[in-house]
Amino acid sequence: MCQLERELEGKVALVTGGSRGIGRAISLSLARSGACVVINYQRAEDAARSLEAEIQAAGGMCKLSRFDVAQYEEVQEACQALLDAHGRIDVLVNNAGITRDQLFVRMRPQDWKEVLEVNLTGAFHCARTVAKAMMKRRQGCIINIASVAGMTGNPGQANYSASKAGLIGLTKALAKELAPWNIRVNAVSPGYITTEMTERLPDKVKEEILGLVPLKRFGSPEDVALAVLFLASRWSAYITGEVINVSGGLLM
């Protein structure tokens, strides 16, 4: 972390779904590295304001931006306001995501649609809006938060797995398309990360999961955040179109 401290001084970073879980850790990491972090949220206002206060108390720069990534008009309006205020968006982290788990034969079309709209179409909305501004400045960095589920599939998560697989494909396509404008596009693919969801799992299930992970532990949100910070920094200046698995060796 020491070599990356203040690495993002003067940069503006937008983190979607940035108030809780992995998004919260990403927001904190980017703020500690000197970026002015714009934390997007939709419903978790209390969590967003608490994080804003924490970042500012530590001397960091932070703003909140409430919008639904699935609504293109809301994304456009929010990003334009951000550009009007700062004149730039240097880093976009597409982290916003939801789950609607159910066995495939029981999955409602609405559950399929909602997950794809937030996890995949939401990333398209944000990247399309932000990329135009990055192209004008001929620089920028887009980081998509995928999942190992998008590479291996998970029973009961056909919608989630499909959305994350699509996000990986989007990452690679955008990396090729935007490279001439010096815009790098990469993905971070978390494995089993300690969150509210994993904390609620029965001990037996946790043991079964850990049996699959070579490092024999769940990852932390900070593990994911450090990978994002690396991809946002100059230390990854020659890396684009890649998927970094933060999975404890699960996909080695």
192 is catalytic: no
Helix axes 72-86, 122-137, angle to 10 degrees: 30
Helix (H, G, I), strand (E, B) or coil at 188: strand
User: What is the value of pTM for the model shown?
Assistant: 0.96
Q: Please tell me which residue in 72, 160, 192, 238 is annotated as part of the active site.
A: 160
Is residue 186 a contact partner of residue 239, using CB atoms and an 8 Å limit? Answer: yes
Distance separating alpha carbons of residues 220 and 199, to the nearest angstrom: 12
Task: Give, in order, the Cα–Cα distances in Å from 106 to each of 55, 149, 158, 161.
Answer: 43, 19, 11, 16
Q: Write the CB contacts of 51 (distance below 8 Å, at least 6 apart in sequence).
A: 18, 19, 24, 27, 28, 39, 62
User: Whose CA is closest to 8, among 144, 145, 143?
Assistant: 143
Distance separating alpha carbons of residues 82 and 158, to the nearest angstrom: 35
Structure tokens at 138: 């001929």
List the chain pLDDT tens, one digit each, 252 residues.
445 578 999 999 999 999 999 999 999 999 999 999 999 999 999 999 999 999 999 999 999 999 999 999 999 999 999 999 999 999 999 999 999 999 999 999 999 999 999 999 999 999 999 999 999 999 999 999 999 999 999 999 999 999 999 999 999 999 999 999 999 999 999 999 998 767 777 888 889 989 999 999 999 999 999 999 999 999 999 999 999 999 999 998
Instruction: Report the DSSP pairing between strands 243-246 and 36-41.
Output: unpaired
Distance separating alpha carbons of residues 55 and 63, to the nearest angstrom: 10
Task: Delineate the domains of the chain, giving CATH numbers in brackets.
Answer: 2-246 (3.40.50.720)
Structure tokens at 168: 């990986």
Q: Name the DSSP class of 148.
A: T
